[in-house]
Structure formats: structure tokens, C-alpha cells
Amino acid sequence: MTTDRMPRDKGSEVHGIFEKIAGYYDRMNFVMTLGRHEKWCREVAARVAPAAGGQLLDLATGTGVIALEAARRYPASAVTGVDFSEEMLSRAMAKPGADAIRWQRADAACLPFENESFDGITEGYLLRNVEDLAGVLREQYRVLKPGGRIVILETCPPSGLLKPIMGWGVRVVVPLLGQLVARDRSSYTYLESSTLAFKSPQHIADMLSGLGFRDIGWRKKFFGTNVILWATKPK
């Protein structure tokens, strides 16, 4: 699950992983979520609801699933898809409808955009792959216009009564699927470890609030292993 990644050391390691998995990224997302991934991406695009004719930024665009859905849903808006991985971007740019989107390679920790450039921001599986979580969210606050919304699709560490079962599933099933579907157990072992070590939705919501976002909410998906969060920059 996806991309725009970080500074040097850890960043170069993660960059290498996502360069390697780009060719089977969509297939693995479909298998691991039992076909739910594209539906979640459609929900992310629906929730961002940029102003008519506005500018929309899709971070960690990966193979462009959210960006392409946003371009279909908001044809009057200008959509920019950003990722750190060249291979991911090349896969995105080869898809039908890709000509409607501006694709750009960039680091989410240092976005090459002016303050208050975008009416909405979407992202998929970015935050668990960055070193400076607060800094990346702060960058998004900076480039978002007042009144604009951010919508985040992310993995979620299991909790509650199902935590032992879902934790086992993430630790065992995800790397196994990586081996069976993609012949790449090591990359999906990273996915397993980064998912289990990531922050709770409440933690992310608290960070968003601390940065100044308001109207914050979230919905867990797929037995609590994924989550969609949203927040608005005050006018």
C-alpha cells in the first residue's frame, strides 16, 4: 500500500521498496483488501469535495487510483498527482484518463508548491512511510487553502477484541500473500511491520487538531485494519 516517502536513509530504503513493487501494486492491493481498495479510494475522492474549478492535490498517488477517480468525479477541477517513486508515477501515467492529471515527482516532506495552493488534498498510505509525521502534515496544512479539506486513507494497527486475530493476520497473511502473488515476501514484511507500528486514528486526529485542522473525523475499514480520516482547514 502506497508512497510519497521521506528523507535520506529510511527514505531511500522505502523508495527502493516502492520502486520494486510498482508492477504488482494494484494487484496486491486488490488481493489484500478482498477487492475493497478501489471502493475506499472512491470514498476518499468523494469526501474531499474541492470547490468547483479548484485545485486538488493527491499525495502518495502511487499508481494514481485516487487521482484518477478525482479527475473523473470533478472534471472542472485541476488534479495534481505527486509521488516519490518514478516507477509508481510511470504506472499511473500509463492508465486511461491519465492525460487529465498533472503528474509530479516530489517529497511530501518538502512540497514544491506555494502556500494555500490547493482547495483539497487526498492521500493514500503516505503517513506510515514518513519519518517526520508532524512535518508532513504541517506541509499539507501550509499548501491547503482555508476552507479546504484533507482526506487520508491509511492502514490502522488492530485494536479491540479482534486485535489478536487481526494482528496475526497482518503479521502472517500479508507477507505470505506477498510471496504467493508477487514473489516478494520481504517488501510485504515491511508493510506488515509498518502497519503494526503505526499510530492510531485518534493519535493522527490529535496531531491534525494540534496543527489547526478542524471538523476532524474518521471511519475504520476492513475489521479496523484500514481507516479514512478527514479534516478541514479553518477559513
Q: Which residues are annotated as a binding site for S-adenosyl-L-methionine?
A: 63, 83, 107-108
DSSP secondary structure letter of residue 198? S
Q: Is 100 exposed, middle or buried (0-12, 13-18, 19+ CB in 10 A)?
A: middle
Q: Is 11 exposed, middle or buried (0-12, 13-18, 19+ CB in 10 A)?
A: middle
To 10 degrees, the CA torsion angle through 178, 93, 97, 65? 30
The number of helices, as runs of H, and strands, as runs of E, in the chain is 10, 7
DSSP secondary structure letter of residue 173? I
d(CA 31, CA 53): 35
d(CA 220, CA 125): 14
Annotated binding-site residue numbers:
63, 83, 107-108
